[in-house]
Amino acid sequence: MVGFFDLHVALTLQKGWAAIATNQTAWRNLFPGISNSLKDEWRAKLAPSDDASYLEVRPSFVPEQTKLPCVVVQYNDEPEENAPINYFGGTYNPNKSNLLSNQLDRTVCLLVRQFVRFHIYTEHPETTRALHIAVLQIMLQNRDVLYDLGYHDLEYLGGGDLSVEEELMPNYLGAYVRVQRWASRGTIESTIVPTAGKPVLVASKDITVDGNLGGIEDPMEN
């Protein structure tokens, strides 16, 4: 699946967060070596009264104003990962009997790599840290969800510094952010390719083809 990676990831995070934020045991298991009282304090700030919708998960560049806490999913580059010669791809079809020509269905094929960036915002550095860990765990635990949608893999590319988000400081007394980067490969594949219309034909200016006069100048005139 190509072009919708950020939307699929945002929906995966929403569902995963709803499962973890409303389950005290699952939440506590995310943070070994931390006291349960501190874990519960973080959860109370991120999902008060077990309200998972208190955390906003959304794609970037939407008109609504950001509220905290939130996770903003930004779609980044989409470079070519691999392209066969002339973008030829083949799909094995054992139900066709002609072994020479029909057993391999010709398709247009292109493999691209998709990148997304998570911006994790909360009003406190410790809840930002906790949410960063929770988001990472949700992505790792829900790889199969993305694979079922047609993504070939899922790769964690690392996280940024825990820092103050200066752009949100006028609206919030404290706004802290961490960034995560993820990548996945997806295939663009098509068995039906729209044509460009009539075939292109180059002819001299004194030649008429199908009612169209050619447009190439006579080189002997120059």
pLDDT confidence of residue 3: 83
Run means of pLDDT, 10 residues per run, the chain, 222 residues: 87 95 95 96 95 92 75 82 65 53 63 91 92 96 92 91 65 78 85 60 72 63 52
Using DSSP's 3-state secondary structure scheme, residue 67 falls into coil
- The rounded distance, in Å, linking the Cα atoms of 71 and 131 is 9
Half-sphere exposure of 186 (CA within 13 A, CB side): 21
Q: How many helices (H) and strands (E) does the chain have?
A: 5, 10
What's this model's pTM, rounded to 2 decimal places? 0.74
Mean of all residue pLDDT scores within the chain? 81
Q: Where are the domains of the chain?
A: 5-190
Q: What is the rounded end-to-end Cα distance, in angstroms, of the chain? A: 54
Q: What share of the chain is helix, strand, coil (3-state, %, to 5)?
A: 30, 30, 40
- The rounded distance, in Å, linking the Cα atoms of 90 and 102 is 11
pLDDT confidence of residue 144: 94
Residues 120-137 have pLDDT tens digits of 999 899 999 999 999 999
Do residues 50 and 25 touch, judged by C-beta distance below 8 A?
no
Do residues 110 and 81 touch, judged by C-beta distance below 8 A?
no
